[in-house]
Structure formats: C-alpha cells, structure tokens
Amino acid sequence: MKQLLPLFLLFVTFSSAFPADQREENEENIQLAQAYLNQFYSIDIEVSHLSQSNNRSLTDSKLREMQAFFGLAATGKLDSNTLEIMKTPRCGVPDVGQYGYTLPGWRKRKLTYRIMNYTPDMPQADVDEAIQKALEVWSEVTPLMFTKVYKGVADIMIAFRTRVHGWCPRHFDGPLGVLGHAFPPGPGLGGDTHFDEDENWTTKNATTGFNLFLVAAHEFGHSLGLSHSNDAKALMFPNYVTLDPGKYPLSQDDISGIQSIYGGLPTAPVITKGTNVPHACDPGLTFDAITTLRREVMFFKGRHLWRIYYDIADVEFESVASFWPSLPADLQAAYENPKDTILVFKDENFWMVRGYAVLPGHPKPIHTLGFPRRVKRIDAAVCDRDTRKTYFFVGIWCWRYDETTQTMDRGYPRAVIKQFPGIGLRVDAAFQHKGLFYFFRGSKQLEYDLKAKNVTRVLRTNSWFRCNEPLNSSFDIEGKVHSGGEEILYHLSLILFTLVFFIC
C-alpha cells in the first residue's frame, strides 16, 4: 500500500466522505493507475528506499509524462480523461525506457517468421492471411522481405499465449487489457511477437473482438525496431483504435520511422550521360546543402560547391576537396553556428569546420547533438542568428537546437508544415540572409519571413547565380506565393497515409 499512497494523494477529487462503494471504486482506479505506470512508464521502484515526498514526486512526474504522451493536460492528477486512456486496450510494450527511441534494426533484409500455434477464434487460413498482410504493410515501404518457415527458429516467432508464458518477461492480463507485445531485433527473444489468447480475435472490426491484422501490424513494427508514437493517427500509437482493415494503415510518421532504419524501396539506377559536373544555370538544379560562412554563401552539390559573396557579383566554382580534403562528397546538410564554425552532415555523422581546417575529433555521431537513435540523417539545417536557435529538418519533421545551452529544445520535433506554414512537407537545404530564411526544395526556393511566418517569394534555386536562362517550371519566379495551396497539398498527403486512428 505504500506504493499507492502518492497516487491516492494525487486523486484529490475523491475523499473518504464518499459512500463505501465509491471509495472502493476509487481505490480500484488508484491500483489500476499504479499498475499502468509501473508497466508502461517504469516507476516500479522499491518504495522503502524513498521518502514519502520523493516517491510522490516520482509518481507525479510519471503521471505527467504519461498525460503528455497522450496529449492530455499534464496536471499530474488522476482525472477521468487519464483513467479513460489507462482503461483502453493497448500494446504491452512500454512507452518509455529502452523503447523510447527507435532501436537498431536487423542487419539483413530477408527475414523469416514462424507461427507457433493458432487461436481457436479464427480459421488457420485467416490467421495466416492476417499475419502475412501485417508483414506486407512494412515490406511495401522498405527493402525487407519476409518468408514463412514451418520448423526451426525463425527471426520472428509468433505465438498466442496467456498470462505468464514460458521465459517471456512480459505477462498478459486477461481480456480487454494488453493485446500483444513484441521484442526488438536481436538474438533470443528478439523479434518475437505474442498475442493474448484471452482476447477474442477476428478478421473484422467486431464490437466483441480485436482485428488480428491491425494488432499484428503494430507489433511487427516493434519486431523491426520501432518504438511507440504519440501520433494518434500512426500505426505505432500504443492504444487500439478500430479501422477499416481494407485501408492503408501506415501514417507518414510510421513510414519515416521504418525508412530511417532500413531505407526506402530500392529504385532502378539512373543512367546519366556526359559529365557529372553540375551546371550553375541548369533549370533543374538542386542542392545537397547550403551554408553561410561569414560574408559568403556556399552551395554544395556532389563533389563541388559554388561560393558567392553578398556584395560581389562573381560566382566561384570549386571542388569540396580543394577546401577540405578529408570531408566526404554528397553532403546532406550544413550550417554556420554563432561561433564562426560550420557543421556539415552526412548520414549519422557530422564534422565541424573552422576556416580551412576540420576540427580534431570528427566526425562525431549526430546523436551527440541530442537526436534520438531513429534519426539516421539530416536533410537540412539553418541557424537563426537573432535567437541562436538552429532548426534541423528530418523528413517532415524539424528539431530546434539551442546553440547557447547546446541542447535540443523541448516540444520538438514538430511537423515542418506547422513550424513554417506554407513551405510544404520537406526541405532539401536552407540558409539565412538579412533576417529571412531561404528554403530549397527540388528546383525551387522559398523566401520566408520568420516574423510574419509566411512565404514572401518563390524563386528558382539558382537565382543567386544571376542566370539568364528561364526556369522551365510552372511556378512564378518572382511572384507571391499562396500558402493555402501548400496546406491543401499537406492535408491531401496525410489523407493518403493517415486515414484513421490506431492501435496496438
């Protein structure tokens, strides 16, 4: 009962003045909340080693963490909305702890799976089909291939179990609680997936059962290395939500997460003719990365870069190696920080450059900057000189980094479309000039007013090179942009991938 005291104190809306049956219900809710936080938010700590005040503070903190994860008001009070979430059937994988980040994936792309036993709730053929389709959800957006085996040890061992089962460290709790759990890639239990046989499994969204396809697709996300998402539209959201199983279940958050581990679908190699040296006035020119350096701007493309000076019309074209021989080609992001240092990024590494010297001790992993392990590359970066905040763009998300404290700001990542309305879903490169941000995506460039939070002009990517060639594109080179069009595109894209709410 010592463990229950902090939550009891937090549950201030109930008191001993209530009738006995309501006091009994209140205590049951407190016990439910304590068990929930112990299981999914790792607060199962020996109370005798803590003072009452410290234990209450810990419990209060974990309750707020849970509320924040589900988008509730983080009051630390056990209110009705919090209890409703806690009573919703869900996945048995914790929302924090070792599952707080995307874990390393399998080192191979061809994986095997084996169904150890079948639920009596469904014909075996329906179970086989549900499992196969649940795995195909992930193979459709990655290079992964899944093969069913009928004996021996497979990468993903699938079983229907009840309560305490075998050597598994996770237990089931009977009907209408935890639906299933899975383990991240690795030896032993790694990849294995268990479903609670005490549930009623079905192929449909029946009111008296749970759709095996939806639950299995979620659990296989864990088997492949994904953690839970706090996006209620994502397949990796921990709570079960009914969905038409005939519709596409992955949100963009799910796709970005799994592709950060395994990459996208393989594409046929592009065969190009002639030289690989980029042309500054190519109408289709795109950039890998852009950064300022004191009074100049550097535009990176492959093994080369262009240099321009704010007050000089000339454009210089050089090889990256002529400045920094130890840097790789095909950089993916770059920016200048307030300390007169350039940071350049490729894949999971970054280098710091001052002048013509790469600073010792580099490259370093990008995770040392505060990125979670699921982030495998940076698409673009730009530092706001006024606030000393750096924005990192990863897919459709952006992080904000405080250059003064050298820590990631809380509340991030945020969707790019929400942080910078009007610029679209993704950013290839970015830099700041005279207080304005310039975002590059494909063959166009967006001039962005940070204070007004809108796009002021749409330009061609190479407008800085003073090219005379007309841009072969449908957008207005110097015209005003209507950000509503970008918003419509954004919502249409989400409709394709995030049709409903999800699951465990």
- For the annotated catalytic residues, the residue numbers are 219
477 burial via Cβ count (<10 Å: 0-12, 13-18, 19+): middle
Task: Give residue for tokens 């000076």.
Answer: 309
Distances (CA, A) of 5 to 56, 138, 258, 462: 8, 44, 41, 65
Q: What is d(CA 163, CA 167) in angstroms, rounded to the nearest whole number?
A: 12
DSSP code of residue 369? G
Tell which phi-psi region holds residue 44, choosing left (phi > 0), alpha (psi between -120 and 50) or beta.
beta
Q: What is d(CA 372, CA 364) in angstroms, rounded to the nearest whole number?
A: 15
492 burial via Cβ count (<10 Å: 0-12, 13-18, 19+): exposed
**Sequence ranges of the binding site for Zn(2+):** 91, 165, 181, 194, 218, 222, 228, 236
Q: Is 431:290 a contact under the CB 8 Å cutoff? A: yes
Of the candidates 425, 490, 502, the one whose C-alpha atom is nearest the C-alpha of residue 249 is 502
The residue type at 242: T
Phi, psi of 124 (to 5 degrees): -60, -35
**Sequence ranges of the binding site:** 91, 121, 155, 165, 173-174, 181, 190, 192, 194, 196, 199, 218, 222, 228, 236, 288, 290, 334, 381, 428
Of the candidates 303, 310, 331, 304, the one whose C-alpha atom is nearest the C-alpha of residue 464 is 310
Q: What is d(CA 301, CA 290) in angstroms, rounded to the nearest whole number?
A: 9
295 burial via Cβ count (<10 Å: 0-12, 13-18, 19+): exposed
3-class DSSP state of 252: helix
**Sequence ranges of the binding site for Ca(2+):** 121, 155, 173-174, 190, 192, 196, 199, 288, 290, 334, 381, 428
3-class DSSP state of 339: coil
Got the DSSP string for 169-235?
Answer: S----STTSEEEEE--SSSTTTT-EEEETTS-EESS--TTSEEHHHHHHHHHHHHTT----S-TTST
Q: What is d(CA 501, CA 49) in angstroms, rounded to the nearest whole number?
A: 41
The vertex-58 CA angle with 53 and 62, nearest 5°, equals 145
Find the helix or strand (DSSP H, E) in which 76 lies.
Answer: none
Q: Long-range contacts: 48-54, Cβ < 8 Å, 24+?
A: 48/2, 52/5, 52/6
Tokens of 295: 């009074």
